């Protein structure tokens, strides 16, 4: 079975899949007041309809064995790990057929908002350290009902993620 090693999240390494911004350590020019510094529009995803903010809880598996992947054809997906660093596996867009041989896994620090481009293959984030990851998923309302294609990987396409 193929093994995908977790790699550090860098702008260059993740550029083919999307963008990210560390919300707990804002950078750049802020709009400031007497008691605040506001860093507007650091990560933008044009969704075109109501945006929903959904919590996800993911238990840490004994083995990070990936048997399914998903994608969304019309929207970017954003994920913010809240209580732990997360491991996010991604593969480039393709014409409805997964590309597991091109899968990469990234260690996303807690409080780092990740935006995956439309059609990027992925599945739920995994906890890096905690027994259970709590993260926030940002998608247009009801995307999971009307724009979510989940594919079961064949045995020879499945992979294990290792730290």
At residue 156, the pLDDT reads 96
Give the CA count within 13 Å in the CB-facing half-sphere of 82.
Answer: 13
> How many Cβ atoms from other residues are within 10 Å of residue 133's Cβ?
25
Say what the pTM is.
Answer: 0.92
User: Domain 2-162, what fold?
Assistant: Jelly Rolls (2.60.120)
Which residues, 6 or more positions from 139, have their beta carbon under 8 angstroms from its beta carbon?
Answer: 47, 51, 52, 54, 72, 75, 77, 78
At residue 38, the pLDDT reads 87
Element (H, E) at 11: helix 11-14
Q: Where are the domains of the chain?
A: 2-162
**Assigned token pair, 95:** 């014409």
At residue 126, the pLDDT reads 97
At residue 49, the pLDDT reads 80
10-30 burial, b if ≥16 CB within 10 A, otherwise e? eeeebeebbbbbeeeeeeeee
At residue 47, the pLDDT reads 67
Listed as ranges, residues in the chain with pLDDT below 70 are 47
At residue 111, the pLDDT reads 97
């Amino acid at each position: 079975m193929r093994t995908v090693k977790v790699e550090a999240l860098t702008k260059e390494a993740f550029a083919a899949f999307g963008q990210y911004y560390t919300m707990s350590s804002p950078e750049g020019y802020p709009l400031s007041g007497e008691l605040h510094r506001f860093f507007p529009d650091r990560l933008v995803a044009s969704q075109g309809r109501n945006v929903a903010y959904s919590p996800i809880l993911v238990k840490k598996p004994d083995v990070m064995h990936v048997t399914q992947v998903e994608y969304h054809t019309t929207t970017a997906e954003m994920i913010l790990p809240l209580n732990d660093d997360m491991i996010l596996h991604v593969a480039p867009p393709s014409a409805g057929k997964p590309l597991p041989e091109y899968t990469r896994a990234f260690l996303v620090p807690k409080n780092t908002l990740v935006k995956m481009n439309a059609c990027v293959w992925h599945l739920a984030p995994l906890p890096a350290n905690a027994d259970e990851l709590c993260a926030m998923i940002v998608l247009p309302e009801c995307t999971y009902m009307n724009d979510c294609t989940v594919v079961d990987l064949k045995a020879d396409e499945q992979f294990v993620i290792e730290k």
